[in-house]
Structure 1
């Protein structure tokens, strides 16, 4: 197995890997690479749903979904998104976010496996939250350090959080589900929301993943945000996602 860094400043390609037959050295390498690069892209895999579950478990204990919520009754660990309503959840996450930020103990890792490849459309964008914080003007940072965001369900998180394993600061913000900031008026919050969305969307900052059948993408949700792009029902895409529980992640409990 080889790890090849992307030229984005974050992310890496994992080459010559077989995720159905991981050795302990492979597991250690993947875990180390995820913390170093934040995003791993692995092509040409052949995973059954059971195989995806087993592979995902090398990163920790998996979250599970209620019957019907994840779409695969026999595999409650898998959340299925799709281009067609009969095959999975549609129109999911078309804004910058990290999965599970609506939880009091946020979801640390997401893992996707492409089951059916569309002819075109449906790319996923990924942005480096650590670099997003670093790229802010130094005079702006004191104004946002210490701010607490409010999700629409009442869950609070720091806007500038330190990664539970690396302790490096990043901008942790869910554009779609955050409804306010403690101490901010609605007008102040909307101005900040617009500004942060534009900052995460700035030219050249995102890695655009064009899905191929057999792709596996693994994201550290405290380091990398992602955003889905539209896909037509005329296209056929099925994408299975697993996520790691906050209290079961391999680097230790994910407190932010």
Structure 2
């Protein structure tokens, strides 16, 4: 059907022998979903597909979420969001901060699909980190402290999300450690962009603990790094990963992003 080539012991696999211009059957989608649950981020190299075909491929993994920020490449493709940055101009995005997508939503995305449309000649890699590994690497007393705590996530903490209707998105509270609804894995679920505080702790305790957790997830042994080529696609499980887009390039970088509807973290 296709080949799965793991990239690191913790996270990431390349999927080979698959043409995403062709319709995939139920068995192929089930196999890819299993691979996603195992490796958490899948890479599809050199896929010459349209935004419409990307949308149709992503829809095989679940209902697509119409993200409240950003613009589509075509009016009849509202599920697709254009991410266009210019390394020659001022930095306007905060994608180069470790985060999970849209944890400010009551139901954050299950997954995200990103396709490289136009790339600078050098740079612009993306890294992903495994939050199960981040959780299990903590000491037993620290895991015991975090289990059962909750944290507030607020869209207004992000400078990249202020163009939409943020008043319709009040802060939400999620577990500090969530359980993956399919695998049962325990995953650290706080991130530097959207998490404002741990609800059960006082201000001083938050000032000490949150920065430690934000830094902890950046350890190299939790990570995979991907160098993009035009047409490459990454699909990741947003429930158990964080990612970081390296802002080290010059010239335009255009990506098409699709998010897949998720559930309430528990």
Superposition TM-score, scaled by structure 1 size: 0.89
Is it true that 1:164 corresponds to 2:181 in the alignment? yes
Mapped partners of 1:178, 1:205: distance in 2:
20
Structure 2 partner of 1:243? 259
Alignment of 1:1-256 (within 5 A): 1-21=2-22, 22-65=24-67, 69-74=70-75, 75-84=77-86, 90-152=92-154, 153-232=170-249, 234-246=250-262, 253=263, 255-256=265-266
Mapped partners of 2:255, 2:9: distance in 1:
24
Runs of 4 or more, structure 1, over 3 Å off, are: none
Mapped partners of 2:120, 2:181: distance in 1:
36
| Runs of 5+ unmatched residues, structure 2 | 155-169
Mapped partners of 2:51, 2:248: distance in 1:
23
Mapped partners of 1:139, 1:125: distance in 2:
29
Structure 2 partner of 1:250? none
| Runs of 5+ unmatched residues, structure 1 | 247-252
Q: RMSD between aligned alpha carbons?
A: 1.9
Contact 1:81 1:90 in 2 (8 A): no
1:203: how far off? Answer: 3.3
Task: State the SS of the aligned residue for 1:140.
Answer: helix
Distance 1:34 1:191, change over 3 A: same
Mapped partners of 1:12, 1:58: distance in 2:
19
Task: State the SS of the aligned residue for 2:120.
Answer: coil
Answer with 127-136 or 57-66: which moved more. Answer: 57-66
Mapped partners of 2:67, 2:8: distance in 1:
36
Contact 1:108 1:254 in 2 (8 A): no
